[in-house]
């Protein structure tokens, strides 16, 4: 593509992609952008170069956005290095990037050097939904238990108490399946926890979204990708073999002798099973989003060309590009509205 330079850098591991790739997986469910999104309107003449360093998993989507923006603003050039999500924060910190695509929430150890240097955190803009179930593409998170387990649903407060020492959501201490409603044989059985070796993007997402930045319990059986066995599949296999286990994974990892639990924000419900439409609509509690981070000092305006790039992304045309990419999901009108208010 003219005026776009793609730097492919090997040897860098993206922390957002904890599972090995599933090359044969091809998502058959696709979402359209909402028709209730603002139409992008050109804003004067803008020129200059936008340097992008970040997620390799967002490369195709970034290329589509860039191509469309350059038809509107031919004097805006892009330099893109699609390396890994973990490269975005360092590039923003040392000033070698203007924008940092990150296909997950930024990690604390990535924020710390930036905050130490500038005195504030990187500015985050949600630019698309994560995928529904595509491995390595910021998919929705499924909470799996053994199929023999009588528990079929949990609130986030219960899930917090299962995994967390701190229990920020206020639920009672949980050590057995009876503590979250199981009866009969399972009532007095201990809960066996499975998860991922940290630092890790999915574990951090669970920490932020469920534990409310709490502290994980000790004794979690942790997995990482080994050879051809993705970490999330290893977790599913462990749960299939242990009636008292629970773990987080993806919907493609639901296998024989496992099941995914329905989840709710609170006991009043509603409970969501994680269907495709629930994830598209961001109703399922563990639906995800992807971001672009920038260095924006609080109280200051964005660079005009960067602001227009965001405004295009957060428009009907920009979200149609997400639908065209076919793996990540378009944002809801409400999220678009919230993010546009941030970048004005």
**CATH code (residue 34):** 3.40.190.10
Q: What whole-number distance in Å separates Cα of residue 101 and Cα of residue 59?
A: 9
Do 250 and 320 fall into the same domain?
no
Residue 35 shares a structural domain with residue 160: no
187 found inside a domain: yes
**Residues in contact with 99: Cβ distance below 8 Å, sequence separation at least 6, in sequence order:** 50, 51, 52, 54, 292, 293, 294, 306, 309
Going by the DSSP 8-state scheme, the letter that residue 12 receives in this structure is -
30 and 86 housed in the same domain: yes
Alpha helix (H) residue ranges in the chain? 59-72, 88-94, 108-118, 156-163, 201-209, 231-241, 276-280, 304-313, 316-325, 333-343
Instruction: 298-305: list long-range contacts, CB under 8 Å, 24+ apart.
Output: 298/120, 302/343, 303/98, 304/46, 305/46, 305/47, 305/48, 305/50, 305/73, 305/76
Per DSSP, the chain holds a count of helices (H) and strands (E) of 10, 13
The Cα–Cα gap between 341 and 331 comes to 15
- Give yes or no: residues 275 and 157 share one domain: yes
Domain boundary among 280, 314, 332: 280
Whether residues 225 and 168 fall in one domain: yes
Give me the helices (H) in 132-243, please.
156-163, 201-209, 231-241
Phi/psi at 196 (5° precision): -115, 145
Q: What is the pLDDT of residue 19?
A: 38
Q: What's the pLDDT score for residue 44?
A: 87
Expressed as residue numbers, the domain containing 333 is: 4-131+290-343
pLDDT value, residue 137? 97
Positions of the chain with pLDDT under 50: 1-22
Residue 40, domain member (yes or no): yes
Q: Is the dihedral of CA 14, 17, 18, 23 positive or negative?
A: negative
List all residues 6 or more positions away from 229 whose beta carbon is below 8 Å from its beta carbon. 20
E strand or H helix at 290: strand 289-294
In a domain, 137, yes or no: no
pTM of the shown model: 0.92
Q: How many domains does the chain have?
A: 2
- Selection from 16, 8, 29 nearest residue 327 by Cα: 29
Instruction: Point out the domain boundary residue: 280, 303, 330.
Output: 280
Claim to verify: residue 120 and residue 174 sit in the same structural domain: no
Output the pLDDT for position 23. Answer: 52
Q: Are residues 327 and 238 in the same domain?
A: no
Residue 136 lies in a domain: no
Query: Exposed, middle or buried by CB within 10 Å (0-12, 13-18, 19+), for 23?
Result: exposed
| Same-domain status, 169 and 259 | yes
End of a domain among 225, 246, 280? 280
Quick check: is 285 in a domain? no
Q: Please say whether the beta carbons of 116 and 266 come within 8 A.
A: no
CB 253 within 8 A of CB 142: yes
Q: How many residues does the chain have?
A: 344
For residue 37, being part of any structural domain is answered with: yes
């Amino acid at each position: 593509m003219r005026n776009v330079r793609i730097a492919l850098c090997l040897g860098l591991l993206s922390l957002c992609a904890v599972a090995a790739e599933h090359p044969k997986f091809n998502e058959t469910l696709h979402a359209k952008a909402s028709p209730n999104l603002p139409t992008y309107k050109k804003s004067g003449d803008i020129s200059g170069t936008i340097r992008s360093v970040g997620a390799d998993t967002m490369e195709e989507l970034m290329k589509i956005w860039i191509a469309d923006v350059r038809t509107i603003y031919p004097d805006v050039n892009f330099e893109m290095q699609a390396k890994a999500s973990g490269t975005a924060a360092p590039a923003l910190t040392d000033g070698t990037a203007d924008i940092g695509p990150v296909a997950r929430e930024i990690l604390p150890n990535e924020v710390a050097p930036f905050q130490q240097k500038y005195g504030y955190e990187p500015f985050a803009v949600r630019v698309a939904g994560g995928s529904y179930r595509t491995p390595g593409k910021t998919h929705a998170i499924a909470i799996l238990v053994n199929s023999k387990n009588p528990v079929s649903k949990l609130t986030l407060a219960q899930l917090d108490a299962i995994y967390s020492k701190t229990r920020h959501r206020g639920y009672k201490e949980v050590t057995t399946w009876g503590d979250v409603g199981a009866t009969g044989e399972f009532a007095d059985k201990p809960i066996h926890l499975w998860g991922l070796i940290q630092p890790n993007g999915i574990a951090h997402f669970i920490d932020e979204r469920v534990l409310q930045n709490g502290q994980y319990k000790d004794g979690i059986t942790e997995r990482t990708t080994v050879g051809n066995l993705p970490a999330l599949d290893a977790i599913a296999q462990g749960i299939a073999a242990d009636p008292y286990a629970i773990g987080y994974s993806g919907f493609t990892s639901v296998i024989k002798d496992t099941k995914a639990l329905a989840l709710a924000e609170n006991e009043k419900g509603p409970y969501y099973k994680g269907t495709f439409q629930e994830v598209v609509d961001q109703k399922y509690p563990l639906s995800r989003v992807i971001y672009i981070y920038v260095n924006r000092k609080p109280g200051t305006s964005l660079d005009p060309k960067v602001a227009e790039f965001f405004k295009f992304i957060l428009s009907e045309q920009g979200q149609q590009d997400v639908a065209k990419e076919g793996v990540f999901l378009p944002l809801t009108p409400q999220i678009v509205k919230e993010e546009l208010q941030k970048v004005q």
